Every structure is written in structure tokens, then in C-alpha cells.
């Protein structure tokens, strides 16, 4: 008997592991686009999450902020897995778009992905940056924890 045999998982621990949610963090690289109405061009920056507002957005900026991230399809998915996109708290309502399709619900910080994942995916999170944003907001995170959550089906 080898010493590794004592580390074998029991059937109960395998069932527990199979029912656990798995999260994939989308840290970077993210492309941040800043577009002001009437501006001739869009300012584009590449960052790794998390990133603070004071490091990204000029104080005089007013317009649309788009956070873009490409990612591959997670491997080992089954058709019965539930897949959610989740993110930390944002300061303003966001528009979440995956592969050109708006996500069904973005009122909370989590949305069930009803759009099929492809081998390569493009996620866009956009919001309007209001004029005269107080400087105190500069220390808050623009782009926090964005992740894909994969949950296997519940067993009855």
C-alpha cells in the first residue's frame, strides 16, 4: 500500500466537489474606452483589474466609459451547467453585452448567460460618466472583480 492511497477522496467528498460553483476571474487585459460626445476620437487604455477611477478617468471627462475584455470559452462545460457573469458593485447602471448580445438582466451584480459562449468571446461593460463627478469618487474601483461563475446542475 502506497502512502498516497490515504489521500483518495471519498464518494461523499467527490459529490460535494462536483456540486461546488467554479469561478473564473477576468482580470485582464481589459481595454477601457473613454468617449466624450462631440469628440473626434476615443481614448483607449489597456489595464488589468482591479483599477481605480483616479488612475483612469481625467477629472474633466464626461461621456461613455466602455470596458472591453476578450476571453476563451471555459473547457469542460456540460449543457446542464448554469453559467453566470458576475461583477462587483458599480457606481452607475451598466449595459452588459456579450458577443454583441445584451445580457438579459443587469439590475443585480450577476446575470445568467443566455447567450451561447463561443470559442472566443467579447464582453463589453459600459456606463455613462456624469459631468462634475466629485473627486472623492476617484479612489473607488472602476473595474473590480468580474468573473464567470459555473455551477453544475443540482442533484435531487
How much is the pLDDT for 68?
A: 94
pLDDT of the residue at 24: 92
Pairing assessment for the beta strands 30-35 and 63-72 based on DSSP bridges:
antiparallel
Give residue 15's pLDDT: 41
Quote the pLDDT of residue 19: 59
- Beta-strand relationship, 120-129 and 63-72: antiparallel
Residue 141 is predicted with a pLDDT of 65
Q: Say what the pTM is.
A: 0.76
pLDDT for the residue numbered 138? 53
Instruction: State how far the Cα of 47 lies from the Cα of 27, in Å rounded to an integer.
Output: 9
CB atoms within 10 A of CB 30: 21
Ranges of the chain with pLDDT below 50: 1-17
Q: Do 147 and 87 touch, CB atoms closer than 8 A?
A: yes
The pLDDT of residue 8 is 34
Task: Decide: 122 and 104 in contact? Cβ < 8 Å.
Answer: no
Residues with Cβ within 8 Å of 40's Cβ and at least 6 positions away in sequence, in order, are none
- CATH code for the structural domain at 22-151: 2.60.120.260
Note the pLDDT of residue 72. 93
Residue 117 confidence (pLDDT): 86
The cell numbers describing 67, all together, are: 470596458
Q: What is the DSSP string of 40-100?
A: SS-EEEEE-SSEEGGGTS-TT--EEEEEEEEEEPPSS--TT-EEEEEE---SS--EEEETT
Which residue in the block uniquely carries the three cell numbers 457573469?
85
Q: Where are the domains of the chain?
A: 22-151
pLDDT of res. 3: 32
Position 139 scores a pLDDT of: 56
Amino acid at each position: 500500500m502506497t502512502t498516497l492511497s490515504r489521500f483518495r477522496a471519498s464518494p461523499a467528498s467527490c459529490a460535494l466537489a462536483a456540486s461546488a460553483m467554479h469561478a473564473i476571474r477576468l482580470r485582464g487585459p481589459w481595454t477601457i474606452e473613454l468617449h466624450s460626445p462631440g469628440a473626434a476620437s476615443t481614448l483607449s487604455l489597456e489595464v488589468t483589474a482591479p483599477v481605480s477611477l483616479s488612475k483612469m478617468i481625467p477629472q474633466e471627462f464626461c461621456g461613455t466609459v466602455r470596458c472591453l475584455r476578450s476571453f476563451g470559452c471555459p473547457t469542460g462545460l456540460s449543457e446542464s451547467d448554469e453559467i453566470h457573469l458576475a461583477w462587483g458593485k458599480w457606481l452607475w447602471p451598466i449595459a452588459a453585452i456579450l458577443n454583441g448580445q445584451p445580457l438579459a438582466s443587469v439590475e443585480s451584480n450577476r446575470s445568467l448567460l443566455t447567450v451561447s459562449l463561443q470559442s472566443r468571446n467579447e464582453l463589453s461593460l459600459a456606463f455613462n460618466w456624469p459631468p462634475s463627478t466629485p473627486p472623492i469618487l476617484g479612489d473607488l474601483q472602476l473595474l473590480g472583480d468580474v468573473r464567470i461563475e459555473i455551477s453544475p446542475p443540482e442533484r435531487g
